Amino acid sequence: MNKLIIISVLFLALLGGCNKKENQEQQKQKGYETDFGIFFEGYSGAFVLYDVNNRYYIRHNEEQCNKRLSPCSTFKIPNSLIALETGVATDENFLLKWDSIKQPIDSWNRDHTLKTAIANSVVWYYRELARRIGNDKMNDYIQKMNYGNMDISGGVDKFWLMNSLTISANEQAEFLIKLLMNKLPFSERTINIVKDIMTLEKTDSYVLMGKTGSGEKKDEKYSQGWFVGFITHNNNAFVFATNIIAPEKANGPKAKEITYNILKSLKIM
């Protein structure tokens, strides 16, 4: 009996080794055998990519892929979904008037629609949407989406801004897979509007949709950046989530730049 157990264990170990070797070969064939670390020089970074047709994940820095961070402005994606579904925002042209209080970024100092607010990452616009949605409805949808740690205790108009709500790169990818496949608790109309306002680039070979996010904790002396979204390419789609952490100068634009470089190295862009 003991010999049989030993033989079985050895067989399973051998099979596991074969599967690992097979997965490595598949990764190599898909062009995924890349040292992603070279793209994150100067940052602690995480990268998740999901190949929809082949149901295949690749990750850089698996430990950080599981680390929850504030979503910052990437939360504008679910915030837009909830605002549209609840009727707080009518469509992509829903206008909010600027209150004339000077903002830190010049492009924020004017009236905005849902479409221009996400494109310019206008914080005041989305804080006002959240206030109009209200704590109860916001919490209800956050729970239905199973979004990160689902904690909005930091305040209905700021919980996503380096506050109580946190989410990992892996969880961002799972959320975006559901968005891409229309498997979130929202109407098809709502999802289509949000996909449209997320669109950053359209070319003959690909369509890229995404959102950046930036934040810093001055007392803890670190900054962070996000770029999340999906790209359609050659009748396939790829979902991605990138985050970076550094003592300073980690932000959304840098995370976006790193993501672009990775996607180009994989010949997806």
User: Looking at this protein, which amino acid is placed at residue 15?
Assistant: L
23: exposed, middle or buried (C-beta count within 10 Å: 0-12, 13-18, 19+)?
Answer: exposed
Query: 3-state SS string over the chain?
Result: CHHHHHHHHHHHHHHHHHHHHHHHHHHHHCCCCCCHHHHHCCCEEEEEEEECCCCEEEEECHHHHCCCECCHHHHHHHHHHHHHHHCCCCCCCCEECCCCCCCCCHHHCCCEEHHHHHHCCCHHHHHHHHHHHCHHHHHHHHHHHCCCCCCCCCCCCCCCCCCCCCECHHHHHHHHHHHHCCCCCCCHHHHHHHHHHHEEEECCCEEEEEEEEEEEECCCCEEEEEEEEEEEECCEEEEEEEEEEECCCCCHHHHHHHHHHHHHHCCCC
Concerning whether 73 is annotated as a catalytic residue, the answer is: yes
Catalytic annotation, pick one of 8, 44, 70, 73: 73
Token duo for residue 247: 């003592």
Active-site residue set: 73
